[in-house]
Chains A and B, each alone.
Chain A
Amino acid sequence: MQPKWMTSIEEIVGQRHVLTQPEALATYAQDGYTLSREVPLAVILPGSTSEVQAVMKVLSRHGVPVVARGAGTSLSGGAIPVAGSVVLHFSRMRQIHHIDWENRLVEVDPGVVNQDISRAVASEGFFYAPDPSSQRVCTIGGNFAENSGGPHCLKYGVTVNHIVMADIVLANGNLRRLGNSTADPDGPDWLGLLIGSEGTLGIATRLWLRITQRPIDSTTVLALFDHIDEASYAVSEIIAAGIIPAAMEMMDGLTISAVERGAYPVGYPTDLAAVLLIELDGEPGLTEHETQETLHRLALRQVRQVVKAQNATETNLWWANRKTAFGAMGLISPRYYVQDGVIPRHVLPDALKTIRTISQDYGIRIANVFHAGDGNLHPLLLYDNHDKSEVERVKQAGSDILDYCISRGGSITGEHGIGLEKISEMASQFNRQELAAQRAIKDAFDPTQLLNPGKLLPMPGRCIDYAN
């Protein structure tokens, strides 16, 4: 016998848009974070904002928690169901409604794929700037929830800088339009508060995004290093020279060995310690000057080779290689756990040394790939999910890395979010008052704890434990 609320929801969205077969639900038990799983009670595929409202009204009346899901690529468990919850899967709401060229805005559904927006506006020389590595599949709704970044956010800013307005369905099913088309907040910046709240405060069902003019000139450079520390110093020195590259990415030897076996091998020498992928863009004269300056800074370090991309095909290959780095870990390890800590750029060499030590202490292989330009580390802790002790050691090693980031004045997440993954580190990052303030905001929006509960904020009891 199915519960009454399920029948009401079937009437709202249509029976075929509610999944309840156990075989189907099992496919929704995980996202890109594989250290946790939970099977939902049902998966609901709404087709419009009004359906989402109606569904939320039924669910709130019956106290059923909700987890919103786009492509399920979250790396912190943001889209993993919680016990007794339903999943709202937005794959049916994926239309680009309107492109306002004059005001450079695009109106989209939450299920629209990030890269499809750039494709839709490319003909007029525009792009949508935030470019998470999962951009060819991840959705704008998920980007909104996680305040997603990406390699090019070093220069262009993250999601919060590119969403100007959104329609939000609240826990009780009410609809609010936050922000405005001029992107100038009138009163408190409610929209800014919602972006990055990981689906715990409201669900975006329509979004207005800013599009950016493609830079006239762009140069991509690869620098190959025999010592990872030399690469780290080069990063700091390039930024210190006043250059803001569009992107500055680093991969270490272990990462290179994985991506080279993957779908987009570049042909890197097999004995490299690190590679820097640097993109410079802007006005032609300035880009040329910055490129020269960057090459000069690189030459001052012990670099084996510096290569400039000759054409777009080469640039695209280098990026495809970099952007599939996480997925390619499957080639060298059964599972990986990716960290997302942030440190001030100048401590990069010290951070890498610390990670090496942690790797040795716990006997865990760690591959490093990161947005070097903004100090956002992505150590990939490799493990075998069938080895219980290794799983525990990986969690502990990950926690140690985050503690280190905090101790150096950094943060536990750059762009992947807290989700389930880093919830216990929240108490290290924030003090009791700061956590209480965040909890008060949550309670104001979602007093009965229906929206993605158990994510982002530690439960009140636990947060006191941690703070003590």
Chain B
Amino acid sequence: MNVDQCVHCGLCLTACPTYEATGLEMESPRGRLVLLNNWAANANFQSRDAAQWLDDCLDCRACESACPSNIPTGHLVEEWRSTVPLGTANRRLLLGLSQAVGSPRGLKRLQRLIRIGQNPLGRWALSKLGSLLSIATGDVLDGLPPSILPGLSRESLTTNMPNADTMMFVGCIMDAVYNQSNEHTAALLRLAGHTVTVPSNQVCCGALHRHGGDPATTRRLAKANIKAYEATGAQQVVVNAAGCGTTLKEYPTLFESGSEWHFRAISFSRAVRDVIQTLAERPLAQLTQQSTTITVHDACHHTAQNLNQSTRALLERAGFSIREMPNSTRCCGSAGVYNLTHPSMGRTLAQQKVSDIPPETQIVAAANPGCILQIQAGTRHYGRNTVTVRHPIDLAYDAYRAAGYLGGVADAT
């Protein structure tokens, strides 16, 4: 698979959020393939501008779904990022982040920092610090949930339960910031009849490192996760963050074909399911329809895993009515840490996303922590203060709890 396979048909153009935002050929997948080709062929084309246009790629994979020739433009840009020197591609955040998300201790520090950012003085200090490093921390802090429980979800959920059929993958940001969503995921899995184990030695999936051009770290993290899974004896690994899901499913591509780790990665990736998939295979009870109307933003990596219909099916079983937003599959601009490293493009995309939320709708479902942060911050910046963005699992959890499942008390009717 290479750059040269592109036949210039252009069918990718309107799928690409950066082309839609800028109208520039070099910010389109077809244009990026030309840039990549020239970058490899001629040193004169290895300019700062070319690097910027390549690095603007969100890695959202929308072009890959649109391409009749199956050209993996996102992967090719990722590969390019890993070959260029630090500073050519925007990887300022990578070192600090890989420290933070790579271990439970780092995650706790990150959580402490974020909790500081939730009070006004702390927010002021952190956005000042961010702007010194030209990182748009302020944008992201505005998207945080109103309260974050102290502690990581892996601590509250840890059961090294023998013979569990399901290993739950807790992620990094999900573990530290959306720890409640992880608890809700475990509860719904149990409601669906699964036994859940949460091994404490699992680590970050490595998506941020891989997208940032550091596949070596991703490989190290992948090995740790594969080992943790093998030790549980579970039949499936369930994940609730769309971005982590695709990365876990793509683990085999990290290892040399035919090697022992490649083989182990294949068995692992076959066991990976998004929680939406698991709950579609063993559906929960149908609840009566409630009056709440919600809209759904389809995370890029949910679209890539073909989960958009199942997400709607889960929410409808939980009694919600869905009012579709236009372009629900267009990237919101979060894209891992993209909103931090590319604030201007990130803001343009957030604004587009917010303007697509139907006016009478107050709840947006989004199945990826980055999207939740980004769109929530966007609603505050672009005049939709009353909108809340929530993980579909949280919405389903609340509905089943209110209906008397999960230890809740049914509303008197």
Contact = CB atoms under 8 A, between A and B. Distances in A.
B215 interface: no
B10 A72 contact: yes
Interface string A390-414: 0000000000000000000000000
A72 to B, nearest CB: 6
Interface in B31-83: 31, 34-35, 38, 44-45, 47, 49-50, 53, 65-71
Contact of B68 (A21, A30, A263): A263
Interface string A88-104: 01011010000000000
B38 A26 contact: yes
What bracket does the count of chain B residues touching chain A fall in? 20 to 34
Contacts of A134: 9-11
A137 to B, nearest CB: 5
A19 B70 contact: no
Interface residues of A, number: 44
A330 B6 contact: yes
Contacts of A331: 68-70
Contact of B47 (A21, A136, A263, A336): A21
Contacts of B53: 23-24
A334 interface: yes
B26 A34 contact: no
B7 A23 contact: no
Contacts of B4: 334
Contacts of A330: 5-7, 68-71
Given A27-B34, A30-B8, A71-B10, A328 B25 contact: no
Contacts of B6: 330
Given A21-B47, A91-B23, A91-B24, A31 B8 contact: yes
A335 interface: yes
B13 interface: yes
B264 to A, nearest CB: 29
A104 B398 CA distance: 47
B38 A137 contact: no
B90 interface: no
B68 A23 contact: no
Contact of B70 (A26, A27, A71, A263): A263
Nearest to A263: B68
Interface in B239-276: none
Q: Which of A23, A33, A43, A113 has most B Cβ within 10 Å?
A: A23
Most interface-central of B23, B65, B66 (chain A CB within 10 A): B23
B14 interface: yes
Contacts of A261: 70
Contact of A24 (B14, B23, B26): B26
Contacts of A89: 23, 25
A336 B26 CA distance: 23
A94 B13 CA distance: 14
Contacts of B69: 262, 327-331
Given A21-B49, A23-B35, A89-B25, A34 B8 contact: yes
Given A91-B24, A330-B68, A23 B38 contact: yes
Contacts of A73: 9-11
Given A72-B25, A330-B7, A262 B13 contact: no
Contact of B35 (A27, A71, A327, A328): A27
Given A31-B8, A45-B23, A24 B49 contact: yes
A84 interface: no
Interface string A273-286: 00000000000000
Contacts of A334: 4-5
Nearest to A69: B25
Interface of A: 19, 21-24, 26-34, 43, 45, 71-73, 89, 91-92, 94, 111, 113, 134, 136-138, 259, 261-263, 324-331, 334-336
20 contacts: A21-B47, A24-B25, A24-B26, A26-B35, A28-B25, A31-B8, A31-B10, A43-B25, A71-B14, A73-B10, A73-B11, A91-B24, A92-B23, A111-B23, A136-B14, A137-B12, A259-B68, A263-B68, A263-B70, A326-B7
Closest 6 interchain pairs by CB?
A: A327-B68, A330-B69, A91-B23, A324-B68, A27-B31, A327-B9
Interface of B: 4-14, 23-26, 28, 30-31, 34-35, 38, 44-45, 47, 49-50, 53, 65-71
